[in-house]
Amino acid sequence: MELLLTNKKIIKNSLDIPKQELKDFLDSKVIQYNTLEFIDSDPIQIPHQFETKEDIEIAGFLTATIAWGNRKSIINNANKMMQLMGFAPYEFVLHHSEKDLSRLDSFVHRTFNGEDFKNFIKNLRRIYSNYGSLENVFKNFSNTHGLQTGIHHFKKVFFEDQENSRSTKHISDPLKNSAAKRINMFLRWMVRKDEIGVDFGKWESISTSQLSCPLDVHSGNVARKLGLLKRKQNDAKALAELDDALRNFDPNDPVKYDFALFGLGVFEKF
């Protein structure tokens, strides 16, 4: 079908555009931005340095954890994380010594510091020792309605007996009305089956249909301009509203539209 919309027409008439025409527009933007070239400017390039599931999981999780602020800074500091772990994240998590952990003291990305980094590594070792993978924790608490309850329970498991740790703030809780942008982005990376090869699709036990869009200032602003989102705050209620709209376009792969919303917001200044 010939694409009938332009960005200019969308902005002017977003509330009056037929659903199918808006879907066609967003589908075209998914095709435009869901490409291997996307990796070069995105934090997802960090886990793409690795081949095994465990290395990809850990590199992706740590990268997503610090994924706020300037994208160049995120990528540089995530690379620094990998360097401090000898570019062998799974090996480091399982077999680190106290001396190894001391190397992490100097790390800092905004409010995520060396203490947080060490705490995350220790908790990851407990997770892999007790559950075998991050995937196994999420699948135990996921349901057909989505992964937001699973994120809540994952946080409880990850910070077991550490409710007062300063590090708990670095994993958001959807049940406390957070949009949980970073952890939803990590889940997109791990779960989404992407024929192009941007997302990894390593987690077979969770369906792509359960994923939620990583809602941030860029995707939120674009979604509002397109009439997909009315709520002004980027919180859990807004995420549920956006999820409903995107699932109407593609119930099997709703989170693919993250590429469209993000690309329109960041690259096109929509």
What is the per-residue pLDDT across 51-108, written as a single tens digit (0 to 9) for each? 999 999 999 999 999 999 999 999 999 999 999 999 999 999 999 999 999 999 999 9
Task: Categorize the per-residue pLDDT at 4 as very low, low, confident or very high, splitting at 50, 70 and 90.
Answer: very low
- Average pLDDT over every residue of 30-43: 97
Q: Which residue shows structure tokens 């329970």?
A: 153
Q: What is the pLDDT of residue 15?
A: 55
Tokens found for residue 253? 């792969």
pLDDT at 10 over 70: no
What is the per-residue pLDDT for 144?
Answer: 61
Q: What is the pLDDT of residue 13?
A: 47
Percent of the chain with pLDDT over 90: 87
Comparing C-alpha atoms, which of 107, 29, 98 is closest to residue 62?
107
Query: CB 101: neighbour CB atoms within 10 A?
Result: 17
The pLDDT assigned to 16 comes to 66
Per the model's pLDDT, the better-predicted residue between 135 and 16 turns out to be 135
**Residue scoring higher pLDDT (4 or 122):** 122
Torsion over CA: 2, 196, 128, 75 (sign): negative
Token pair for 234: 């980027």
pLDDT at 17 over 90: no
Residue with tokens 């090869």: 197
Write the pLDDT tens digit of every residue in 195-233.
Answer: 999 999 999 999 999 999 999 999 999 999 999 999 999
Residue 112: beta bridge partners? 109
